[in-house]
Structure 1
């Protein structure tokens, strides 16, 4: 089963959820803000996809961070993402074999059907 992580009012997350529903894909939605995040989740994602892919440095949350918090991205990335889950690119789709951020219908279809991507 897949888990889709994100924020419920995010337009891209809504598109991903709508697509998964239309394809009758079994998934669970986990809202970063309502359900929280664990350091273990973040560590797993950092190992699988890396900080450059995981952190959204183009978003409002990143731009509003203090210089001190931006420095934490270098030294305390896990704690920073626990404190500011909106920094995580979304949606994040995960199961035992897949961890990817963003929504692309073709990519989702391929990943769900077992077609490997880099």
Structure 2
């Protein structure tokens, strides 16, 4: 089963969920606020995606970081501020990871 990580009130999460439901793709949603990811899982995301792809630089949380933090993203910083993670993060059955939502990308998993 696909795991979708995000925050339930995020508009992009809602679009992604609607798309998967409409295409009859089973997924489990994990809210990063209710069920924070652990350091090991976050490190897996970073290893597969890199910080550049994983961090949402348009988020209010990122904009509120000081310059030192913006230039030195760490596991601890992201674990304390899960809204820094671009949403959604999809982890497929084969452990491939996708971040963000685009219909074109999502059609590949349908």
1:98 aligned residue: 96
2:90 counterpart of 1:89: no
1:106 Cα deviation (Å)?
1.4
Which residue number in structure 2 is paired with residue 48 of structure 1?
Answer: 48
Q: How many residues align?
A: 109
The whole-number CA distance in structure 1 between the counterparts of 2:95 and 2:80 is 27
Q: Cα distance, 1:69 vs. partner?
A: 3.3
Query: Offset of 1:98 from its aligned partner?
Result: 1.9
Q: Distance in 1 between matches of 2:12 and 2:50?
A: 21
Aligned to 1:80: 77
User: Aligned partners of 2:88 and 2:7: how far apart in 1?
Assistant: 8
What is the TM-score when the length of structure 2 is the normalising length?
Answer: 0.91
Structure 2: gaps (5+ residues): none
Gaps of 5+ in 1: 114-118
Q: How many Å apart are 1:97 and its aligned residue?
A: 3.5
- C-alpha separation in 2, matches of 1:70 and 1:106: 30
Structure number with the higher helix fraction is 1
Structure 1 distance, partners of 2:95, 2:45, is 12
Q: TM-score, normalised by structure 1?
A: 0.85
Hey, what does 2:107 align to over in structure 1? 109
Write the distance in 2 (CA, Å) between the matches of 1:71 and 1:48: 20
Conserved 8 A contact 1:72-1:80: no
